[in-house]
Amino acid sequence: MLSRKFVICLLLTGLLFSAAAQGQLDYSLIKEVDLKSHIDFLCAPALEGRVAPGQGSEQAQRYIASLFEKYGLQELESAPQYLQNVPLRISRTDYESTKVLLDFGDKQISFSANDQFFFFPKGGEDYDICGEVILCGYGITAPEFNWDDYQQTDISGKFVLVIDGEPRLEDGSSRLNGERGNPTKYSRDVVKARIAQSKGALGLLIAASVKTDSAGIVEKFGNKAEKMFDPIVQLPGYESDFPVIYLNSDAAEEFVGGDAHYFEAYQYLLPNEPRLLKDHQRDPVTLTLKIRYKDIQDTATANVIGFLPGQTDNAVLVMAHHDHEGIKNGKLYPGADDNASGVAGLLGIAKATARSSGKPANSIIFLSSGAEEKGSLGANYFIQHPPYPLDKIITVINMDEIGRDGSPQFRAMFDPSISGEKDLLMVFYSGQTPAFAEIAKQLDQQDLNLLLEPVLTFHSSSDHVPFHAQQIPSMFLFTGFHSDYTSPRDVPEKIVYDKLLRVTRFATSLTWEIATTKKRPTFDTSITEVERKGTYGH
């Protein structure tokens, strides 16, 4: 008869996804010198910042593919020579013909591009849309903060005008974030847009915040405004048609009869206060948006895909995008942390797992995605044209910026005075897969400060987002925000290589742990609430 202690040991072995019977990894194969060599190559001036499409990103693809072959990874049939072709369409916005028109019934106002409004479309066909405009505060729906600017307001088929940022206290700190005071994710325009789009809005108008003058939106979006005339890169047939338009204060005030006090008054409202200030809105207000494109051409980039077969067709997908921002105004954007660090980590994992002493229960797919900086185009193409059945992918592990001591504060991207936290590794994971937190804690043998955050709906723009949206359990590894993000200052000399080594070995253990179990991680859609406090390791 089996002893109780022996039975418990067997159960624990299954729960912890033990890999003992399926071979061991040699972590010494992951070397700091190799990680540095990968980053030096990817950041070299000859690769011109790896912009996609471009010859630099193509060089990066060939480099990664050659190492996949060297490590002994297999090609997928739909990705010969380790490359999945990703077709792209390039266009430019024809601002001379693109118009924003307001109709108040008694008069019509036409706004000027790159002065009164700024518009960064994602490409597509020429189109005209027209609809009523409704004011909705900051455009935030945040149940965890008991704040809903759309409460009892139907915005379906309408444009929404919201205030930039998020509600603040009189000292300027966030009303939502309590004592912490730092801006939340809801201050981000991409989050506001996703909320508005999910509620059926035609488009989103973002007004300059109350702390700026009439030219404030020009200052706030000055860097972004420089991109208005950049080429638009998108997947053919999948262009976004949800417009987000930024207005300076003078233009925004036209929606409320020239009354600047509307925007000042709204910031002092309490959460869900019934006074929505609709009395300030001109009635009716109709907006017509005429969008036109020019210089349309078709081109391509590629995803790099390697395959390590397991005992089953189920697969763990490990990924890191290889593209970056290129050269702008004569300045090279090397992208050492974003995301040469992630690619170096991906190559380290590939080498160690491909040369393991045993065959894992599940297969492993290595994906270095292209055109992430253009809106996760490579990752989206992988999903839309899967080279491997999506229902066989049991977990996604994405690495994006894993080489620095950054800060957990989003504001650190814009404030260089905010210092990074030593050994910080943020692990954002699908809140519908709570087992990931325990697995990460058990596997942390690398002296990392783990910040574990469950997320029900990802709002970041990295490549795990579309996989999570397909209800594939996902993890996102990230070492924190810093002000060198997307700048010429993101250079190899600032990478913390001993930390990158430890993060890569930790990510390798995560990959192997899930790959060596026959129990598939679950994505429990019945989980609708998570507690996001942040759990540190040591």
Quick one: 324 and 414 in the same domain?
A: yes
**Angle, CA 119 vertex, CA 380 and CA 286 arms, to 5°:** 110
Pairing outcome for strands 141-142 and 424-430: unpaired
> Which pLDDT score is estimated for 19?
40
> Which pLDDT score is estimated for 10?
34
Measured distance CA(352)–CA(310) in Å, rounded: 15
Kindly compute the dihedral angle of the four CA atoms of residues 4, 10, 12, 14, in this order, to the nearest 10 degrees: -150
Pairing outcome for strands 449-455 and 331-333: unpaired
Residue 525 located in a structural domain: no
> Which pLDDT score is estimated for 499?
97
DSSP state of 392: G
- Residue ranges of the chain with per-residue pLDDT less than 70: 1-23, 170-172, 178-181, 209-227, 239-240, 256-283, 459-460, 532-538
Domain count, the chain: 2
In the numeric block, which tokens belong to residue 111? 């706004």
Amino acid at 463: D
Measured distance CA(209)–CA(188) in Å, rounded: 13
Task: For 507, list phi and psi in degrees, rounded to 5.
Answer: -65, -35
Quick one: 433 and 315 in the same domain?
A: yes
Residues 500 and 35: beta-carbon distance below 8 Å:
yes
Quick one: 242 and 364 in the same domain?
A: no
Positive or negative torsion for Cα 213, 217, 221, 223: negative
> Which pLDDT score is estimated for 1?
41
Measured distance CA(116)–CA(208) in Å, rounded: 11
Half-sphere exposure of 412 (CA within 13 A, CB side): 17
Q: Which residues pair with 99 in a beta bridge?
A: 290
Q: What is the CATH number of the domain that holds 339?
A: 3.40.630.10
Query: Tokens 């233009």 label which residue?
Result: 251
Quick one: 168 and 314 in the same domain?
A: no
Quick one: 200 and 317 in the same domain?
A: no
**Helices 435-443, 497-515: inter-axial angle, 10-degree rounding:** 130
Last residue of a domain, one of 291, 307, 335: 291
Quick one: 394 and 368 in the same domain?
A: yes
Quick one: 285 and 320 in the same domain?
A: no
Measured distance CA(462)–CA(483) in Å, rounded: 18
Query: Which domain does 481 fall in, by range?
Result: 22-90+297-515
Kindly compute the dihedral angle of the four CA atoms of residues 262, 267, 269, 274, in this order, to the nearest 10 degrees: 50
In the numeric block, which tokens belong to residue 180? 């912490």
Measured distance CA(215)–CA(494) in Å, rounded: 36
Residues 514 and 316: beta-carbon distance below 8 Å:
yes
Residue 417 located in a structural domain: yes
**Helices 341-354, 32-42: inter-axial angle, 10-degree rounding:** 130
Last residue of a domain, one of 241, 272, 291: 291
> Which pLDDT score is estimated for 264?
57
Instruction: State CA 54 to chain mean position distance.
Output: 22
Residue 84 located in a structural domain: yes
Quick one: 337 and 396 in the same domain?
A: yes
Residues with Cβ < 8 Å from 280, sequence gap 6 or more?
Answer: 135, 256, 257, 259, 261, 262
- Beta-strand runs (E) in 309-423: 315-319, 326-328, 331-333, 363-368, 393-399
Q: What share of the chain is helix, strand, coil (3-state, %, to 5)?
A: 30, 25, 45
Query: Tokens 């507690």 label which residue?
Result: 531
Q: What is the CATH number of the domain that holds 155?
A: 3.50.30.30
Quick one: 116 and 28 in the same domain?
A: no
Quick one: 38 and 129 in the same domain?
A: no
Measured distance CA(231)–CA(91) in Å, rounded: 6
Residue 438 located in a structural domain: yes
Quick one: 138 and 193 in the same domain?
A: yes
Last residue of a domain, one of 272, 291, 310: 291
Quick one: 468 and 496 in the same domain?
A: yes
In the numeric block, which tokens belong to residue 288? 């017509």
Task: For 425, list phi and psi in degrees, rounded to 5.
Answer: -135, 115
Residue 6 located in a structural domain: no
- Beta-strand runs (E) in 320-469: 326-328, 331-333, 363-368, 393-399, 424-430, 449-455
Instruction: State CA 29 to chain mean position distance.
Output: 30
